[in-house]
Amino acid sequence: MERKIIHVDMDAFFAAVEQRDNPEYAGKPVIIGGDPTKRGVVSTASYEARKYGVRSAMPLREAYKRCPEGIFIPGNMEKYKEISWELQRIFYDFTPIVEPLSIDEAFLDVTGSQRLFGTPEEIGRRIKECIKEELRLTASIGIAGNKFLAKLGSDLEKPDGFVIIKSEDVEELLAPLPVSRIWGVGVKTEAYLNRIGIKTIGQLRAIPLEYLEKIFGSMGQELYNLARGIDNRPVQAFSEAKSIGREVTFEEDIGDIEKLYVSLLDLSQQVGRRLRKSEKAAYTVTVKVRYQGFETHTRSKTSQVQIDLGNQIYEVVRQLLDEMGLRGRRVRLVGVYVSNFISASAPRQISLLDNRDSRRRQLEDTMDKIKDKFGEDAISTANLLGRKYTRE
């Protein structure tokens, strides 16, 4: 049986949520990212803001120049995650084969769902209706026989689009589209193809496989196939996140190592709390540092014992940071991540520091209970009070 795949992509998700929850924002340019007078980038822009040329990943200051009347909002990731879970619940009502690509888009393989829910078109329309009725949001949907074409379809008629790509229409549909529409063709590949006179998918289709492989190596075969609408990748059912982490960008580049330590302690405690809430422990800790000019370095260490406390994470982070040797360089961003998970209920490796960690665990468990009841800012360790230097 031919695969039937649906790609669901929410329309300007973060901005749309804020417009939904704040009726006074309806029809106005909403820009998620934070204070436009400070350093940062646009996370999401409403379609009203996009008319001014505002796009995701654009510096906030540039967005303000283009759209000074825009409504700039820092955003609320916890709220967006909760809505994303509701969105996925809708998906799972129609198929167990769901592959999330991000917080606001996913592939659904509905090949085996047709006997229960009807044709792929009927399933797609029911999903759109559920999203609109239950979440009061809109999504664009693409339906096709493979992932590439389904994702392409969801992007063709945004916002609130609904596109079905039939096998007999693929050649005609793809031919006039720019090569940038092909999955995996980034800015550099597009520029190279344009330089040699290949601007459309139809022109790419005319290039022999041997020539594409000579230029692009193994990617040549992929370009050859996608230009013909061929994509044999299956939808991969959801798998657990491979890492948990937090990172922050400083309002001004920091060269003071003590300020970096304070920020890393704050991040470590946030990551530890997320670990415990997910009922996991980790073995591997990674620190990420971005300097001026966006030069980025990471370093990791794997422990012999399970880690799920903020102070445990911070001790490893301090060691990794000291090993990196900042050499007086100014830092733009720092991040803390943990990975290599194990269930928190698994038997623990005995540590020489077990008594100390037991006291820490009692402290952090107590702080967790207070935060669960009164909010994340209800309590903090004394060495963080009034000394946070980070902006998320």
Note the pLDDT tens digit of each residue in 222-262: 999 999 999 999 998 866 667 788 888 788 888 888 889 99
CA 108 to chain centre: 18
Residue at 214 is within a domain: yes
Are 254 and 290 contacting, i.e. CB atoms less than 8 angstroms apart? no
Question: Which pLDDT value is given to residue 368?
Answer: 61
Tell me if 131 is assigned to some domain. no
Record the tokens describing residue 184, joined without a space: 């995996």
Asked whether 89 and 106 are in contact (CB, 8 A), the reply is: no
* pLDDT-derived band at 352, boundaries 50, 70, 90: very low
User: Residue 99 pairs with which residues in a beta bridge?
Assistant: 107
Instruction: List 200's β-bridge partners, or say none.
Output: 178
User: What is the CA 27 to chain-centroid distance, rounded?
Assistant: 26
Residues 374 and 277 in one domain: yes
pLDDT band (50, 70, 90) for residue 372: low
Residue 201 lies in a domain: yes
Contact between 288 and 247 (Cβ < 8 Å): yes
Instruction: Report the C-alpha gap between 389 and 176 in whole angstroms.
Output: 50
Tokens 């330089």, residue located = 195
Same domain, 206 and 304: no
Query: Cα-atom radius of gyration of the chain, to the nearest Å?
Result: 24
Same domain, 249 and 301: yes
Rounded to whole angstroms, the Cα distance separating 152 from 224 reads 17
Question: What DSSP designation does 391 have?
Answer: B
The total of other beta-carbon atoms located within 10 Å of residue 268's CB is: 25
pLDDT digits (tens, 9 = 90+) for 187-216: 888 999 999 999 999 999 999 999 999 988
- The pTM assigned to this predicted structure is 0.65
Cβ atoms within 10 Å, residue 61: 14
Evaluate whether residue 348 is within a structural domain.
yes
- Kindly report the CATH number assigned to the domain that includes residue 200: 1.10.150.20
Domain end among 25, 57, 77: 77
Neighbouring-strand partners of residue 5 = 109, 144
The answer to whether residues 276 and 359 belong to one domain is yes
Q: Please say if the pLDDT value at position 345 is more than 70.
A: no
For residue 59, what is the domain's CATH number?
Answer: 3.40.1170.60
Considering the candidates 18, 48, 99, 105, report the single residue annotated as catalytic: 105
Q: Which domain holds residue 193?
A: 170-226
Note if 105 is an active site residue. Answer: yes
Q: Is the CA virtual torsion 207, 209, 211, 214 positive or negative?
A: positive
Same domain? For 261 and 335 the reply is yes
The tens digit of pLDDT for each residue in 40-88 reads: 999 999 999 999 999 999 999 999 999 999 999 998 988 898 899 889 8
Are both 324 and 273 inside the same structural domain?
Answer: yes
Please write the tens of the pLDDT for every residue from 159-177: 999 999 999 999 999 999 9
pLDDT value at residue 159: 95
List the strands of the sheet with 162-164, edge to edge: 98-102, 105-109, 5-10, 139-144, 162-164
Mean pLDDT of the chain: 87
Q: Is residue 143 part of a domain?
A: no
Confidence band, pLDDT 50/70/90 cuts, at residue 390? very low
Separation of alpha carbons 281 and 277, rounded Å: 10
Q: Tell whether the model's pLDDT for residue 375 goes beyond 90.
A: no
Instruction: Quick: pLDDT tens for 6-46.
Output: 999 999 999 999 999 999 999 999 999 999 998 899 999 99
